[in-house]
């Protein structure tokens, strides 16, 4: 079964152009099902039947997973078995009758303008390498709305100072050019020329490095902003993606078009971007209630 999974992930990578993080998610979801099958004494992918899948879904339900998690796991395995059937590795697709749980379009949590300012202010508390790097990373993420994986993958060669542009590779290795304001570039250049060079002990093009001179990880940045949020008194379960949500919502609140926000975020489908209009509409509603003279 591991062999079939390797063939499938190679197909997703080479023919579909899926990004490494997406491939990792597929592998984790399908491996979870394979581990369940092994414990159920199923040794070959061709032996999987309707009953096995039903019991696996019962297992997911018993673990109290969110509908979004259950939906993703089932979708990953449906894609896997659909591929196996199309390539004749199996004669029937036992997943074909199963559907994913409905996932509501939950409105994402965001940070207010004031909370973004607090993050930036408290990240600069230490006028040293770490404080400078952290504040540059937070401001760059809020200025561009890029994913945390895109942020930590940035190289020096992705910075176009004179053009006020940052290039990044998003999902499916699609490049996009993101405009930034001058202060962002100034802060990046200060970090590179004053702080970064003191910690880079070997040749690397990585823009953001840790104290060992190695590329920053997503997990490290997540812990950093959690700590800064706690120190600054922001009582929210903050994550890097919340900064991305805030970027999109604040742009829409400021009057940006949905299409422009879609392009900046790198969404393939504008329907994905539309969730932020709910937040923007809520902002308009609150402003109306607060400022209308005859409320």
Report the C-alpha gap between 86 and 46 in whole angstroms. 14
Catalytic-role residue among 85, 176, 226, 267: 267
Catalytic residue among 72, 147, 196, 245: 147
Hunting for tokens 């591929």 — which residue is that? 83
Q: How far is it, in rounded angstroms, from Cα 12 to Cα 19?
A: 9
Distance CA 153, CA 159 (A): 12
Q: Specify whether 147 is catalytic.
A: yes
**Residue 133 annotated as catalytic:** no
Whether 261 and 251 have beta carbons less than 8 Å apart is answered as yes
Catalytic-residue membership of 244 = yes
| Residues 77, 80: Cα–Cα separation, whole Å | 5
Q: Is residue 198 annotated as a catalytic residue, yes or no?
A: no
Active site residue 174: no
Closest by CA to 209, choosing from 264, 269, 153, is: 153
Which of 78, 215, 226, 241 is an active site residue? 241
- 51 to 15, 30, 109: CA distances (angstroms): 32, 17, 39
Catalytic residue among 59, 82, 85, 171: 171
Asked whether the beta carbons of 48 and 42 are under 8 A apart, the reply is yes
Active-site residue among 244, 259, 294, 295? 244
Yes or no: say if 53 and 209 are a contact pair by the CB < 8 Å rule: no
Active-site annotation holds for 56: no
- Joined together, the tokens standing for residue 96 give 């074909």
| Three-class SS state of 115 | helix
Strands 159-160 and 165-169: antiparallel
Q: Which of 122, 191, 195, 276 is catalytic?
A: 276
Q: Pseudo-torsion of CA 45, 46, 50, 53, nearest 10°?
A: 0
Q: How far apart are CA 267 and CA 49, in angstroms?
A: 36
Residue positions annotated with a catalytic role: 147, 171, 241, 244, 267, 276
């Amino acid at each position: 079964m591991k062999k079939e999974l390797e063939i499938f992930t190679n197909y997703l990578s080479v023919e579909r152009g899926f990004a490494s993080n997406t491939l990792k998610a597929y592998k984790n979801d399908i491996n979870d099902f394979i581990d369940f099958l092994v414990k159920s004494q199923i040794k070959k992918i061709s032996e999987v039947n309707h009953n096995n899948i039903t019991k696996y879904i019962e297992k997911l339900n018993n673990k109290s997973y969110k509908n979004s998690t259950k939906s993703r796991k089932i979708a990953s395995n449906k894609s896997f078995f659909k591929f196996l059937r199309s390539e004749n590795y199996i004669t029937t697709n036992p997943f074909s009758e199963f559907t994913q749980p409905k996932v509501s379009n939950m409105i994402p949590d965001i940070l207010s303008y004031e909370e973004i300012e607090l993050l930036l202010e408290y990240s600069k508390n230490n006028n040293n390498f770490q404080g400078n790097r952290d504040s540059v990373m937070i401001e760059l993420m809020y200025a561009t709305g890029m994913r945390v994986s895109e942020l930590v993958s940035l190289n020096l060669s992705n910075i176009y100072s004179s053009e006020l542009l940052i290039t990044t590779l998003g999902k499916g290795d699609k490049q996009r050019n993101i405009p930034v304001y001058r202060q962002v570039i100034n802060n990046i250049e200060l970090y590179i020329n004053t702080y970064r060079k003191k910690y880079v002990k070997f040749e690397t093009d990585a823009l953001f490095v840790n104290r060992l001179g190695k590329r920053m990880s997503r997990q490290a940045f997540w812990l950093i902003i959690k700590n800064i949020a706690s120190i600054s008194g922001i009582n929210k379960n903050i994550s890097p993606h919340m900064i991305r949500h805030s970027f999109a919502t604040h742009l829409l609140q400021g009057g940006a078009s949905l299409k422009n926000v879609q392009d900046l975020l790198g969404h393939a489908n504008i329907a994905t971007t539309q969730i932020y209009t709910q937040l923007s509409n809520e902002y308009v509603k609150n402003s109306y209630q607060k400022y209308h003279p005859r409320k």
